[in-house]
Amino acid sequence: MHNETVASPALDYTQPAASKPAGDESLAPQEKRIMGRVSYLLAWFGGCVSIGTFAMGSSIVGTLNLLQTALAIGIGCFVIGIALALNGAAGYKYGIPFMVQARAAFGFAGTRFPGLVRAVPAIVWYGFQSWVGAAAINAVSATLLGFDNMVFYFVVFQLLQIGLSMFGFQGIKWLENVGSAFILVSLVYMFYSVINRYGDEIMTNLVNVEGTWGLPFWGATMLFLGIYSTMMLNVSDYSRELKKGSGPGLLTTLYAMSILPCTLFMGLIGLMVSGATGVNDPIQVFSSAVDNTPLLVTTLLFIAFAQVTTNVLNNVVPPTYILMDVFKLPFRTSTIIVGLLAFGTFPWELVKEESSAGLQMFVQTYSAFLGPIFAVMVVDYFIIRRRQLDVGKLYDVHGPYRGVNYAAIIASLIGAVAALSLSSVSWYASLIPAGLSYYLLMRHWSACQRFRN
């Protein structure tokens, strides 16, 4: 049940960081918090611009009408807000990152499991989205300057992101806060342009149709929720940067309201463009609008900028902290390695049409573990430990959390089986099996009792 092998001595993380210079991140309990509520909301707003949201909107054409889609997005974002507030509570209260928080449920060595589930897709999407962003910049360059060199822009774009990432959360705060204005203006402009150009088709195909309020509707809520399911695991990496003084209700509101605008605009744009034209790739439709150069350039720059804000917040921080934890590397070294690893994902191959089936299978496979791990961590913090953690023990490699807590691993696998069995609502379906299994194992399995305190 429990691996008695003692991990090698770790660096001393028991002393809280007294200050927060740019790029000086650590796994220590965060004492100096740099984000107020408005800054935190804007950081999430800027970091949650996923081009995949366009595709999610496109995928429900013919299933839901415009009103049902808007409500599905709203419900999904509200559920996201609750989930982020729940799993981010430990990080917010104690100032600890995801990899330290996970030790309570999985053990020192056991954290490699949730860490791997979170880090591998982050690096893959880092490379994929960097290629998409570079392609958008290259298209702008070709349109305005006549210079077309995809490899050049990809290398430059990736090096730029690595450089920005090295500033840590100070850089993230600046980038996301400033970038939020451009993102919001771009989305409003794109939304207006779509309605202005395809208004009649939208009324016919999306407004004056019945749609459904059944299982497909709830499946749609999970589509938009699932985009952020990776962030639900490592939300403590961000919540520990938020200054104290916000209750659970306010935190839920902050998360939901920061994610809702971008998700709503982008999801509806994807639905409207695909519903009006029959083309499932909204980006392709925008890019083909050569008769409207301002819209084309705005859209392409938006796509490029969205990749930066999303990558730096969501795809750099998780694997960076994991490298820091596993290999005891400094923050800046880890960000450089993560950026170089993104080159190794061969994103130019991933974007090919023939790679879509394999990429979809990859997404479905790792997604099946996200809900179960989330459920295990929430049950562990709120029910098993009743929101009380001995932070010193979480940094003691010879203490009660050494090795692997197999109860957490087994419960996560049980939840993953449930998720794979009910793929249309996989995240929802995995929660109760994983959470209940973990609670029962921790309560009745004597070999796991050492993890209770």
- DSSP per residue over 302-341, as a string? HHHHHHHHHIIIIIIHHHHHHHHHHH---HHHHHHHHHHH
Can you give the pLDDT at residue 243? Answer: 95
Which residue's entry shows tokens 């496109």? 58
Global confidence as pTM: 0.88
Alpha-carbon distance of 149 to 51, in angstroms, equals 23
Alpha-carbon distance of 378 to 381, in angstroms, equals 5
The per-residue pLDDT for range 346-370, each reduced to its tens digit, is 988 887 767 766 766 777 678 889 9
Handedness of CA 355, 361, 362, 364 (dihedral sign): positive
The per-residue pLDDT for range 373-429, each reduced to its tens digit, is 999 999 999 999 999 999 999 999 999 999 999 999 999 999 999 999 987 778 889
Q: Is the pLDDT of residue 282 over 70?
A: no
Residue type at 38 in one-letter notation: V
Backbone φ and ψ for 242, nearest 5 degrees, come out as -85, 130
Q: How confident is the model at residue 73 (pLDDT cuts 50, 70, 90)?
A: very high
Alpha-carbon distance of 192 to 183, in angstroms, equals 14
Q: How confident is the model at residue 134 (pLDDT cuts 50, 70, 90)?
A: very high
220-224, 231-235, 276-280, 353-357, range with the lowest pLDDT: 353-357
Q: b/e map of 235-271 (b: 16 or more CB within 10 Å)? A: bbbbbbbbeeebeeeebbbbbbebbbbbbbbbbbbbb
Q: How confident is the model at residue 1 (pLDDT cuts 50, 70, 90)?
A: very low
The per-residue pLDDT for range 104-126, each reduced to its tens digit, is 999 999 999 999 999 998 999 89
User: Higher confidence at residue 228 or residue 249?
Assistant: 249
Alpha-carbon distance of 397 to 108, in angstroms, equals 7
- Average pLDDT value for residue range 242-251: 93
Nearest to residue 318, comparing CAs of 120, 40, 29? 120
Tokens found for residue 350: 């991933």
- Average pLDDT value for residue range 300-307: 85
Nearest to residue 259, comparing CAs of 377, 82, 95, 88? 82
Alpha-carbon distance of 94 to 163, in angstroms, equals 29
Q: Considering just the CA atoms, what is the radius of gyration of the chain in Å?
A: 22
Average pLDDT, the chain: 86
Alpha-carbon distance of 351 to 336, in angstroms, equals 23
Tokens found for residue 364: 């479905």
The per-residue pLDDT for range 40-68, each reduced to its tens digit, is 999 999 888 877 787 788 888 888 999 99
CA angle, corner 170, sides to 168 and 172, nearest 5?
70
Can you give the pLDDT at residue 5? Answer: 36
- Average pLDDT value for residue range 339-344: 94
CA 427 to chain centre: 14
Can you give the pLDDT at residue 7? Answer: 38
Nearest to residue 69, comparing CAs of 84, 56, 50, 52? 56
